[in-house]
């Protein structure tokens, strides 16, 4: 089904967060599983429908996790509510351009980030980049994946760098034919520990 045929409310229902704490990955990948285009950012890969879905997913996010390299390359895009957690071993973060540093914290490791999570942090979204997504997939695992795939067929499997996918179910596949994009929504069938 074409994503443009769905309203924001329908997409919000489809990508609704569960009641319990959930770690979700939202990522845009080209046919080579790269998350950046020729310009070194996702800007040359994305589309209006991809940005619309990103905005909808972010609306209910309590914590948005990104790697510092993503911020250095793409700039700051704070979620509409909640806070941003930046993973950075070096601490090289462009704080001078941050629009609201009171909503942003940096962490040198995944364990430090996990230790900082509050009970009220239920909807936790990772947007990468790719190295951050792989690190989080290996250390904590994701409960679901919202992947925008470019130039791939509808039934493309999860990329290898995201780990084992045997306990995941493909919940939804939408398309944006005008941009050769497929929007896959995968959800873990059983809780991970």
Residue 134 and residue 161 in contact, taking contact as beta carbons nearer than 8 Å: yes
Task: Name the domain count of the chain.
Answer: 1
Residue 161 pLDDT: 84
Residue 186 pLDDT: 94
Q: Which pTM value belongs to this model?
A: 0.92
Give the tokens for residue 122. Answer: 């239920």
Question: How far does CA 82 lie from the centroid of its chain?
Answer: 15
Residue 153 pLDDT: 66
Q: Is 181 left (phi over 0), alpha (psi -120 to 50) or beta?
A: beta
Least Cα distance to 17 among 72, 83, 62 occurs for 62
Tell me, yes or no, whether 28 lies in a domain.
yes
Residue 193 pLDDT: 46
Residue 167 pLDDT: 86
Nearest-angstrom CA–CA distance, 192 and 158: 17
**What pLDDT tens digit does each residue of the chain (193 aa) get?**
999 999 999 999 999 999 999 999 999 998 888 888 888 888 778 999 999 999 999 999 999 999 999 999 999 999 999 999 999 999 999 999 999 999 999 999 999 999 999 999 999 999 988 899 999 999 999 999 999 999 866 678 888 888 877 888 999 999 999 999 999 999 987 654 4
Tell me, yes or no, whether 184 lies in a domain.
yes
Tell me, yes or no, whether 14 lies in a domain.
yes
| Domain CATH number, residue 21 | 3.40.430.10
Give the tokens for residue 18. Answer: 């569960």
Tell me, yes or no, whether 193 lies in a domain.
no
Residue 94 and residue 74 in contact, taking contact as beta carbons nearer than 8 Å: no
Tell me, yes or no, whether 106 lies in a domain.
yes
Range of the domain at 36: 3-188
Tell me, yes or no, whether 34 lies in a domain.
yes
Tell me, yes or no, whether 44 lies in a domain.
yes
Residue 154 pLDDT: 67
């Amino acid at each position: 089904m074409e994503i443009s045929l769905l309203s924001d409310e329908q997409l919000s229902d489809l990508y609704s967060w569960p009641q319990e704490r959930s770690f979700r990955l939202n990522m845009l990948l080209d046919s080579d599983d790269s998350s950046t285009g020729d310009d070194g950012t996702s800007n040359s890969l994305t589309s209006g429908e991809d940005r619309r879905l990103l905005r909808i997913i972010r609306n209910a996010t309590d914590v948005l996790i990104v790697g510092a390299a993503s911020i250095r390359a793409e700039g700051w895009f704070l979620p509409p509510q909640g806070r941003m957690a930046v993973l950075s071993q070096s601490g090289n973060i462009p704080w001078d351009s941050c629009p609201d540093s009171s909503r942003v914290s940096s962490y040198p490791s995944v364990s430090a980030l996990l230790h900082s999570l509050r009970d009220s942090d239920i909807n936790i979204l990772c947007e990468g980049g790719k190295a951050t997504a792989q690190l989080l997939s290996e250390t904590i695992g994701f409960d679901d994946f919202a992947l925008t795939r470019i130039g791939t067929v509808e039934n493309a499997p999860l990329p290898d760098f995201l780990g084992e996918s045997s306990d995941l179910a493909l919940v939804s596949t939408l398309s944006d034919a005008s941009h050769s994009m497929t929007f896959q929504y995968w959800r873990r069938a059983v809780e991970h520990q």
